[in-house]
Amino acid sequence: MTEYDVFRALVTAQEQGEDIALATVVRTQGSVPRHEGSKLVVWPNGDIVGTVGGGMLESQVIEAARQVISEAQPRLLNFRLSNPEEGDVGICGGTIDVFIEPILPPPTVIVVGCGHVGKEVAALAKWVGFRVLVTDDRADLCSEANIPGMDGYIVAPASELTDHVTITSQTYIAAMTRGQPIDLALLPALVKSPARYIGVIGSRRRWTLTAEALREQGLTDEDLSRVYAPVGLELQAETPREIAVSVVAEIIMVQRGGDGKPMRHSVAQSRAVGHE
């Protein structure tokens, strides 16, 4: 296994939107199994490419890397390789520091439904900087000709979306679907995924009926609480572009941890606190 294999794995994981961690030997002292700069790529399921030394050392690095992926926080680990009876990971006699960092895919918006509203949501999400994939079972709409400049086009039924794309904690789903039957086919898999955001277009009545039908399929209230429906912030939006502003604004709010309140209210509150 060469450094080329490690870097190729990193690039491939990014292209496929996968969560991974990169473990790098950053400092060594004394006799150790691998030199500084040695790298190991770890996937959430424990798959690896590369090595930082094998044995107990590598097993502990892999387990820590899986936690780093889950928590999205880097970690620096120090290992002694002297006395296994005291809990050390080897008998080489040296010490080794391993830095583990999460390598998460770029935030990705998946727009389900390429009609008038979906087209505008995709264009606006791309404009503000998201990686954007669009999907529809209508090939003429899910195309470069209809929605130019997207990062991917998935022509498939809504029920097959998770067969074609990896859903991660960096994924935001904007379901601009054309009817309840599509929502019923789409949502069961999505609410069980790690998607950061799942928004569904439609009226409150449509969502009430959809939620009842999903409960009959076995989904729980906890599952359904993950869905933002009706989708978007309340702007009294009417046109497809106005609705797109509402939807993308809600996605940004979730991504950044905002609350959607008018800024002037926050400023006024801050001033009031300052005068107390």
Q: How do residues 157-178 score in pLDDT, each as one tens digit?
A: 999 999 999 888 889 999 999 9
- Does residue 151 form part of some domain? yes
Residue 233 pairs with which residues in a beta bridge? none
Looking at the structure, tell me whether residues 233 and 191 fall in a common domain. yes
- Cα separation, 202 vs 179, in Å, equals 8
| pLDDT at residue 118 tops 60 | yes
pLDDT 10s digits, 5-29: 999 999 998 877 788 999 999 998 8
Looking at the structure, tell me whether residues 90 and 148 fall in a common domain. no
Share of the chain above pLDDT 70, in %: 91
Q: Report which secondary-structure segment, H or E, holds 73.
A: none
Looking at the structure, tell me whether residues 138 and 7 fall in a common domain. no
Looking at the structure, tell me whether residues 81 and 118 fall in a common domain. no
Q: Which amino acid makes up residue 134? A: V
- Does residue 40 form part of some domain? yes
Q: What is the mean pLDDT of residues 250-262?
A: 93
Looking at the structure, tell me whether residues 49 and 180 fall in a common domain. no
- Per the CB < 8 A criterion, the answer to whether 36 and 25 are in contact is yes
Average pLDDT, the chain: 89
- Per the CB < 8 A criterion, the answer to whether 251 and 199 are in contact is yes
| Size of the chain, expressed as the number of residues it contains | 276
Residue 29 pairs with which residues in a beta bridge? 95
R_g over Cα of the chain: 23
| pLDDT at residue 250 tops 70 | yes
- Does residue 268 form part of some domain? no
- Per the CB < 8 A criterion, the answer to whether 123 and 115 are in contact is no
Looking at the structure, tell me whether residues 95 and 137 fall in a common domain. no
Closest alpha carbon to 102 in 130, 75, 134: 75
Looking at the structure, tell me whether residues 56 and 78 fall in a common domain. yes
- Does residue 270 form part of some domain? no
Q: What is the mean pLDDT of residues 209-236?
A: 95
How far, rounded to the nearest angstrom, does the alpha carbon of residue 106 sit from its chain's CA centroid?
Answer: 8
Residue that terminates a domain, selected from 45, 70, 103: 103
Looking at the structure, tell me whether residues 56 and 130 fall in a common domain. no
- Per the CB < 8 A criterion, the answer to whether 98 and 22 are in contact is no
Question: Which residues neighbour 187 within 8 Å (Cβ) at sequence distance 6 or greater?
Answer: 175, 198, 200, 210, 214, 219, 227
pLDDT of residue 35: 86
Counting the structural domains of the chain, the total is 2
Looking at the structure, tell me whether residues 88 and 131 fall in a common domain. no
pLDDT 10s digits, 195-217: 999 999 999 999 999 999 999 99
Looking at the structure, tell me whether residues 118 and 87 fall in a common domain. no
Looking at the structure, tell me whether residues 112 and 221 fall in a common domain. yes
- Does residue 262 form part of some domain? no
- Cα separation, 61 vs 39, in Å, equals 11
Looking at the structure, tell me whether residues 90 and 113 fall in a common domain. no
- Does residue 276 form part of some domain? no
pLDDT 10s digits, 121-160: 999 999 999 999 999 999 999 999 999 999 999 999 999 9
- Does residue 242 form part of some domain? yes
Residue that terminates a domain, selected from 74, 103, 132: 103
- Cα separation, 198 vs 228, in Å, equals 6
pLDDT 10s digits, 179-199: 899 999 999 999 999 999 999
Can you give the CATH number for the domain in which 137 is found?
3.40.50.720
- Does residue 266 form part of some domain? no
- Give the domain range for residue 92: 3-103
- Cα separation, 172 vs 187, in Å, equals 13
- Per the CB < 8 A criterion, the answer to whether 189 and 161 are in contact is yes
Confidence of residue 86 (pLDDT cuts 50, 70, 90): very low
Identify the residue with better confidence: 184 or 58: 184
Closest alpha carbon to 25 in 57, 56, 2: 57
Residue that terminates a domain, selected from 83, 103, 123: 103
- Per the CB < 8 A criterion, the answer to whether 121 and 183 are in contact is no
